[in-house]
Amino acid sequence: MDARILIESFAEFARNKNVDRPTMIRILEDVFRTMIRKKFTEDDNFDIVINADKGDLEIWRFREIVDDNSEDIWDHDKISLSEAKKIEPDFEIGEEVSEEIKLEDFGRRAVMMARQTLMQKIKDLEKDILFQKYKDLVGELIMGEVYQVLPREVLLIDAEGNELILPKTEQIAKDRYRKGESVRAVVQRVEMVNGNPRIILSRTSPKFLERLFESEVPEVFDGLITIRNVVREPGERAKVAVESYDDRIDPVGACVGMKGSRIHSIVRELQNENIDVINCTDNLELYIQRALSPAKITSIKIEQENGRVSVFMKPDQVSLAIGKGGHNIKLASKLVGYEIDVFRDLDESEEEDVDLDEFVDEIDDWVIDELKRVGLDTAKSVLALPKEDILRRTDLEEETIEDVLKVLKQEFE
């Protein structure tokens, strides 16, 4: 293999990868200087001239002529007079000899080694370019095509054929993937593993929801509406706090769209994730009320030093505030940055009762559904019946009913 083929093949790659000319020349020179050091030990008295466009290579060796009996004759940058005269008979002591070294002078093995080194440099450069490209895209929305579905991750490829990884932990639980389909996600992080770039995507990140709003709502993309905060329980529920600096723009209405036209496409992308869009405000009490929507609050007590908020509401509003699986109150707490405690606000004439949905953390959903099926939807309605009646009317086991009664009794003790 001659120098022209080496240089032209590398130059073509460099142009395809948008590598700048100085970087391309530097890599080529490094490869040839490695060859020189292996053959001549030192390379500081060599000049390398590369014309990447034409594939030309010139390697020049410079040495000072010394007397045959000089002590310096063995220095790498010296040459004896007798050796110099073999190159040019008119040379004299003290002059400099410039000698062109051909690539074939290094031997076939050295040239093959240079080719391998160059190929490795090409691979390393390609990996570095890929790493830098996706490092700049962290937090940005991209699209990839599914090419392999594995138990712990889904592998995708981008438009250039680069591998992207969507781990199970970054997938929405309801997501189902088929080979060849297009998937949208954000770049979560990029890391080097054993010298190879590993590009991790996410569909559960709050950034993913934020980028979807940017793609679906022109006012958000243009900066007329700012997304102040996003909190999510992926696939279940999300809360998005938005703000507009233009009084003429209703940020919530713009994000939802006419009859929900804008937000529906986002909800479908997130497997029917329930999205609450909230108008952000510096009024903390009002912000908490909006965060706990659709529940209606009677009063609020804020303990800033403890980072806690106590909210009081009618008993029929408590289950709305907590939400299915406790998602609503959990997300509201994250959104406002305070731990929210919910209390029932009872009049003296009212007898306290608790909706069964409020016990989702202690009683399984299917058990609550079975009780509701026979008309038992509050704690006291269950406790009012003998255990035998509940056993007869439902498909629940006696042990399960005893556990339920124990939990409900503790609520009123």
* Model pLDDT for residues 196-212, shown as the tens digit of each residue: 999 999 999 999 999 99
Question: Residues 128, 8: one domain?
Answer: yes
Question: Residues 19, 129: one domain?
Answer: yes
Average pLDDT over residues 168-178: 93
CA dist 300 and 313 (Å) reads 9
pLDDT at 413: 65
Is 402 part of a structural domain of the chain?
A: yes
Is 228 part of a structural domain of the chain?
A: no
CA dist 283 and 56 (Å) reads 71
Tokens read off for 321? 């505030």
Question: Residues 365, 324: one domain?
Answer: no
Question: Residues 129, 147: one domain?
Answer: no
pLDDT digits (tens, 9 = 90+) for 349-408: 445 677 888 888 788 888 888 888 877 778 888 887 888 878 877 888 888 888 988 888
pLDDT at 351: 56
Rounded to 5 degrees, φ, ψ at 326 are 75, 10
Question: Residues 36, 128: one domain?
Answer: yes
pLDDT at 208: 96
The CATH number that applies at residue 337 is 3.30.300.20
Tell whether the model's pLDDT for residue 167 goes beyond 90: yes
Question: Residues 55, 122: one domain?
Answer: yes
Question: Residues 78, 187: one domain?
Answer: no
Question: Residues 399, 299: one domain?
Answer: no
pLDDT digits (tens, 9 = 90+) for 94-137: 899 888 888 878 887 877 887 788 778 878 888 888 999 999 99
> Among residues 271, 25, 63, 288, which one has the least CA distance to residue 171?
271
pLDDT at 389: 78
Q: How many residues does this entry show for the chain? A: 413
CA-to-CA dists, residue 328 to 275, 323, 361, angstroms: 11, 5, 13
Question: Residues 34, 126: one domain?
Answer: yes
Is 22 part of a structural domain of the chain?
A: yes
Q: What is the DSSP pairing of strand 308-313 with strand 299-303?
A: antiparallel
pLDDT digits (tens, 9 = 90+) for 259-311: 888 999 999 999 999 999 999 999 999 999 999 988 889 889 988 888 889 89
317 forms beta bridges with none
Segment among 165-169, 337-341, 359-363 with least mean pLDDT? 359-363
Boundaries of domain holding 96: 3-133
Question: Residues 95, 114: one domain?
Answer: yes
The CATH number that applies at residue 185 is 2.40.50.140
Look at the chain and report how many structural domains it folds into.
Answer: 4
Average pLDDT over residues 243-250: 89
Decide: helix, strand or coil at residue 230.
strand
Q: How many CB atoms are closer than 10 A to CB 279?
A: 17
Please report the DSSP string for 9-25 in residue order.
Answer: HHHHHHHHTT--HHHHH
Show which of 332, 352, 372 is a domain's final residue. Answer: 352
> Among residues 105, 82, 78, 102, which one has the least CA distance to residue 92?
82
Is 168 part of a structural domain of the chain?
A: yes
Question: Residues 10, 128: one domain?
Answer: yes
- Please state, rounded to an integer, the average pLDDT across all residues of the chain: 87
pLDDT at 197: 94
The CATH number that applies at residue 82 is 3.30.1480
Q: What percent of the chain has pLDDT over 70?
A: 97
pLDDT digits (tens, 9 = 90+) for 5-62: 777 777 777 777 777 778 888 888 888 888 888 888 888 999 998 887 777 888 999 9
Give the containing element (helix H, strand E) for 369: helix 365-373
Per the model's pLDDT, the better-predicted residue between 241 and 407 turns out to be 241
> Among residues 50, 48, 21, 23, which one has the least CA distance to residue 33?
48
pLDDT at 346: 62
Question: Residues 117, 155: one domain?
Answer: no
pLDDT digits (tens, 9 = 90+) for 130-161: 999 999 999 999 999 999 999 999 999 999 88
